[in-house]
Amino acid sequence: MNAEMKRKNVLIDCDPGIDDCLALMLALQSPELNVLGITTVCGNVPASQGAKNALKVLKRYGRLDIPVYTGEEHPLKREYISAQDTHGEDGLGDSGIPDVAETVPMQGAVDFLNQTLKDREDVSVIALGPLTNIALALEKKPEAWKRTQAFVSMGGSFKSFGNCSPVAEYNYWCDPDAAAYVYRNLPVKIHMVGLDVTRRIVLRPDLLEYISQISPQEGEFLRKITRFYFDFHWVQEEVLGCVINDPLAVAYLIDPSLCSGIDLYTDIVTEGIALGQSVCDEKGIWKKKPNSHVLTQTDPVRFMHLFLERTAGARDPQLSRVLGQLYPGERFGFSLFAEGREAE
Ligand code: RIB
Ligand code: CA
């Protein structure tokens, strides 16, 4: 990180969950980000279990100095439906990683979010789960949220298909009322990192093999927590590997050039068969000011370059060679001709 680059202060609201944990791993190992705190919300697993899992990741990277706050255990109105069928009962692929003994999560995620936004300048928020905590915090102290430097939400789907229904993505389907409240009231633009872009981010078996070769300990940890997720993806969608949605939201805050999108007015369906659908008004029919920047394109190879560099210590020119081998023919967003490699 060059000296003049200013680190971005960030709060991460999440439901760890396997891909949330990979997102935390990326955030903790990226010098561009200063993680001020982690809040957990009912989603993949109950918020209390998510908080324990967040502590497991923080301990792994020697960052138990970062506070973890447990948030809401129930959606605003709907019955809570977890995603433990996808992430395992423990939220980490039933990997049996022991709870952290040195500390425990605190209570009061909503107040922690609001107090931090009130007290600190230049704070960005990355939401990687249902928006229940965010909606309650926004309702309680709307003025605090005017200070948000950037708000990034992994959620929704513009022109892709849903993963909870033909049209709905899990985070917004789990608590559609919270998502609708946030999209209708947040005073800053919502950067929607939806399934249109995250579906292109697949942790493939050969990438896991590369990680294991260059960083055996990291490879072993990732294998342990993703096995369950790999099996789910094969059975459900015949995908070899697993879609890792949440790390793209973190990578996008680190380097917004990783994705491109369009400013649109978006609202969330709160009842009926399309419950949880993010309706993006592409043609401006509703004549409403855009409240979201909906991401539509990303460069999976550039993402993987960043992800592998940060989480596994991969380095060019080897990293570019391996990515060239694994993604033949894809245009790289970075120089293919890393030093020591002649242009072909
Ligand atoms: O639909 C994918 C999203 O729902 C991801 O954030 C995953 O972790 C779950 O929260
Ligand atoms: Ca998540």
222-247 tens-digit pLDDT: 999 999 999 999 998 898 999 999 99
Which residues form the pocket of ligand 1, taking CB atoms under 6 Å from any ligand atom? Answer: 15, 17, 19-20, 43-44, 83, 128-129, 154, 163, 169-171, 245-246
Task: Report the separation in Å between the CA atom of 246 and the middle of ligand 1, taken as the mean of its atom positions.
Answer: 7
Residues 292-306 have a mean pLDDT of 97
In the predicted model, what is the mean pLDDT of residues 313-327?
95
Summarised one tens digit per residue, pLDDT across range 66-109 is 999 999 999 999 999 999 999 999 999 999 999 999 999 999 99
Question: Averaged over 23-50, what is the pLDDT?
Answer: 98
Opening angle at CA 51, ends 50 and 53, nearest 5: 65
**What is the chain's Cα-based Rg?**
19
Q: Is beta strand 242-243 parallel, antiparallel or unpaired with respect to 33-40?
A: unpaired
Cα(85) to centroid(ligand 2), Å: 14
With pLDDT > 90 as the criterion, what percentage of the chain qualifies?
Answer: 92
Mean per-residue pLDDT over the chain, rounded: 94
Query: For a substitution probing ligand 1, which of 19, 24, 134, 203 has the most ligand atoms within 8 Å of its CB?
Result: 19
18 close to 108: Cβ distance less than 8 angstroms: no
Residue 2 has a pLDDT of 53
What is the per-residue pLDDT for 6? 83
* pLDDT attached to residue 340: 39
pLDDT (average), residues 284-296 = 98
pLDDT at 1 over 90: no
Measuring from atom 2 of ligand 1, which residue has the nearest CA?
A: 170
Q: Say if residues 123 and 149 touch (Cβ distance below 8 Å).
A: yes
Give the pLDDT confidence score for residue 217 in this predicted structure: 96
Q: For the CA atoms of 139, 145, 150, 152, what is the dihedral angle to 10 degrees?
A: -10
Out of 21, 26, 126, 128, give the residue to mutate to test ligand 1, the one with the largest number of ligand atoms within 8 Å of its CB: 128
Contact residues for 331 (Cβ-Cβ < 8 A; gap 6+): none
Residue 122 has pLDDT above 90, yes or no: yes
In the chain, % of residues over pLDDT 70: 94
Worst-scoring range by mean pLDDT, 129-138, 140-149, 334-343? Answer: 334-343
pLDDT band, residue 329 (cuts 50/70/90) = confident
Stretch 309-327: mean pLDDT: 96
Question: Looking at ligand 1, which atom is closest to the CA of residue 163?
Answer: 1
- pTM for this one? 0.94
Greatest alpha-carbon span in the chain = 60
How far from chain centre, in Å, is Cα 2?
25
| Mean predicted confidence (pLDDT) in 1-13 | 80
For residue 253, how far is its CA from the centre of ligand 2 (angstroms)?
A: 16
Backbone angles phi, psi at 283, to 5 degrees: -100, 5
pLDDT at site 328 = 86
Q: How far is the CA of 41 from the centre of ligand 2 (A)?
A: 9
Residue 232 CA, ligand 1 centroid: distance in Å: 14
Q: Is the pLDDT of residue 332 over 70?
A: no
Least distant ligand from the CA of 92? 1
pLDDT at position 330, please?
A: 66
* Residue 341: per-residue pLDDT: 42
Compute, in angstroms, the gap from residue 343 CA to the centroid of ligand 1: 40
Secondary structure of the chain as H, E, C letters: CCCCCCCEEEEEEECCCHHHHHHHHHHHCCCCEEEEEEEECCCCCCHHHHHHHHHHHHHHCCCCCCCEEECCCCCCCCCCCCCHHHHCCCCCCCCCCCCCCCCCCEECHHHHHHHHHHHCCCEEEEECCCCHHHHHHHHHCHHHHCCCCEEEEECCCCCCCCCCCCCCCHHHHHCHHHHHHHHHHCCCCEEEECHHHHCCCEECHHHHHHHHHHCHHHHHHHHHHHHHHHHHHHHHHCCCCEECCHHHHHHHHHCHHHEEEEEEEEEECCCCCCCCCEEEECCCCCCCCCCEEEEEEECHHHHHHHHHHHHHCCCCCHHHHHHHHHCCCCCCCCCCCCCCCCCC
pLDDT of residue 331: 55
C-alpha 182/C-alpha 186 separation (Å) is 5
Residue 49 and residue 90 in contact, taking contact as beta carbons nearer than 8 Å: yes
Q: What angle do CA 243, 99, 126 make, to 5 degrees?
A: 45
Given a cut of 80, whether residue 126 has pLDDT beyond it is yes
Q: What mean pLDDT is predicted for residues 251-256?
A: 98
Best mutation site among 12, 20, 26 for ligand 1, i.e. most ligand atoms within 8 A of its Cβ? 20
pLDDT of 290 reads: 98
Contact 317, 293 (CB under 8 A): no
